[in-house]
Amino acid sequence: MNYNFYGWENADVKPISNKYEKITSPKELYDILSDIWCEQTCAPRMRDKWRKDNRTLGQCSITAFLAQDIFGGKVYGILRPDGNYHCYNVVGNCCFDLTSEQFGEEAKHLVYKDNPEQFRDVHFSKIEKKERYEYLKKLLEDKLANKQ
């Protein structure tokens, strides 16, 4: 299967704990998240633009920190023109961005090197972001509980 998120070709890292052993790779996580990303998990400032055909819009930080829970590694951020950071994951030599599709053609111009590390305590100091992360995590865990 072809994916369109950045780094999909080499996104073959494994989960770091048996809590998420049903998720065998970032590609599988992407498949599962594609069914559960929703307007409620989208950043509030972007909700009016969120659509099912652009599911990854406004999902970057909560998705990257959830992927970090599952695969380990670090979260980095690309500074955007609006002053916010677009978050992505690096695990060992594997760099992937499960939400890069939200940028359409612009995604080809994102630079995934020499960006600052991002920390959940800074991002989650915004209560709404922490709540969206917890909600996405619960949706994922519920989906995994029902996965055969």
> So what's the pLDDT on residue 18?
87
pLDDT tens for residues 98-139?
999 999 888 889 999 999 999 999 999 999 999 999 999 999
pLDDT exceeds 60 at position 94: yes
Report the pLDDT averaged over residues 47-75. 97
130-to-63, 113, 126 alpha-carbon distances in Å: 11, 26, 7
Report the pLDDT averaged over residues 31-48. 96
Closest of 144, 145, 148, 146 to residue 23, by C-alpha: 144
10 pLDDT tier (thresholds 50, 70, 90): very high
Could you say which DSSP state residue 110 is in?
A: -
> So what's the pLDDT on residue 35?
95
pLDDT exceeds 90 at position 17: no
> So what's the pLDDT on residue 40?
97
pLDDT exceeds 70 at position 148: no
Looking at every residue in the chain, the average pLDDT score rounds to 94
Closest of 24, 22, 4 to residue 107, by C-alpha: 4
* Cα–Cα distance measured from residue 56 to residue 34, given in angstroms and rounded to the nearest whole number: 8
Q: What does pTM read for this prediction?
A: 0.95
Strands 94-96 and 117-118: unpaired
